Amino acid sequence: MNAIPLWVVAGLLGAGKTTLLRRLARATAGQGLAFVVNEFAAVDVDAAAVERAGGQAFVVSGGSVFGRFRASDFARVLERVADGVPALGGDIISPSGVVVEASCLSDPRSLPRLLAETGLDARFHVAGVTAVIDPRLLTWPLLALPNIRGQVESADLVLLNKADVRDERTIEAMQRKLGTINPDARVLRCVGAAVAPSILLAESVRCRAGLVDAAFGCRPDYGCAREWVAFSRPVAQDELALGLDALGDDLCRAQGIVRTTGGWKALAWHAGALSAADAGTQAESSLALIWRPSEDGARHLKRIRRCG
């Protein structure tokens, strides 16, 4: 039995991973490619976006698939995928490959060990790791968080996304920094995560993830914390945006499906802006945040909770 190629797409929330996966799902529809979406929140925001683009998505929610608490869930999903995925016409086929969208604080360096320890290395092989980076968003996480650095260290391909809205000095400085961390990675600039599928799905000749081994589940997310905010009543979107904006640079990302005064919305905050898309009714109206705790931030978080 031939091992199924497995590609990882890593990167901070807001860097463009979901946009990249939507493009890939549209371009490869009907080719038997499966997507495993690792949501950092407990709602399937990214998976729904992939399926709307025509991809077959499987979800592992609530934490990193490379962490001890979700590794077993990830292994079960991979076993299910290896047994076959639905194709056009309803047939069950062996997948041509699997793309894993890792949660924003995942560390892909542990993937080869995870596959070996679960026996899944007989059914899958790591074909490559792509790190998606917004140069403006990566300054403090790259310096402070071992997991983010691990994404760069394990990458065969680094995509400097949003190159059209970042100044040349910022991009060049980030390229130099990346070169000191991983001189072997191929670095490409892109706009709107527009990259040819043949580049993303290339079989790496020298898979970096196999060269920078790390024990899975043993790397905490230093310097940041997760918060889940549940709302009991409809939220005024403008008021929520003001509360998130008040967190300033302490807020890395916020994402969730929220019942607003204008209906149910999939909300995402990054780079100082709140985006919204229509969403279906959910069992809970909630927002997940990743932030650097501080006294001022705690006060602003209370303000966010009072929004709904």
What confidence tens digit (pLDDT) does each residue in 253-288 have?
787 888 999 999 888 876 677 888 888 888 888 887
Q: Where are the domains of the chain?
A: 4-210, 225-305
How confident is the prediction for the chain on average, in pLDDT? 79
Predicted structure pTM score: 0.71
Sign of the alpha-carbon dihedral angle for 254, 10, 22, 170: positive
Contact indicator for 237, 158 with CB cutoff of 8 Å:
no
Residues 6+ apart with CB under 8 A from 40: 13, 62, 63, 64, 103, 104, 105, 226, 255, 288, 290
Query: What is the arithmetic mean of pLDDT over 128-132?
Result: 92
pLDDT of residue 1: 53
What confidence tens digit (pLDDT) does each residue in 141-162 have?
565 667 778 888 889 999 998 8
Query: What is the arithmetic mean of pLDDT over 24-38?
Result: 86
pLDDT of residue 222: 45
Return d(Cα 80, Cα 83) in angstroms, integer.
5
Contact indicator for 156, 136 with CB cutoff of 8 Å:
no
Strand segments, DSSP code E, in 92-219 are: 92-93, 97-101, 124-133, 157-160, 186-189
Query: What is the arithmetic mean of pLDDT over 174-183?
Result: 87
Q: How confident is the model at residue 243 (pLDDT cuts 50, 70, 90)?
A: confident
High-pLDDT (> 70) share of the chain, %:
77
Return d(Cα 185, Cα 158) in angstroms, integer.
6
Give the burial class of 209: count Cβ atoms within 10 A of its Cβ; 0-12 exposed, 13-18 middle, 19 or more buried.
buried
- For domain 4-210, the question of CATH label 3.40.50.720 is answered with no
Out of 42-46, 138-142, 194-198, pick the least confident: 42-46
Domain 225-305 fold is: Hypothetical Protein Yjia; Chain: A;domain 2 (3.30.1220)
**Cβ atoms within 10 A of the Cβ of 161, count?**
28
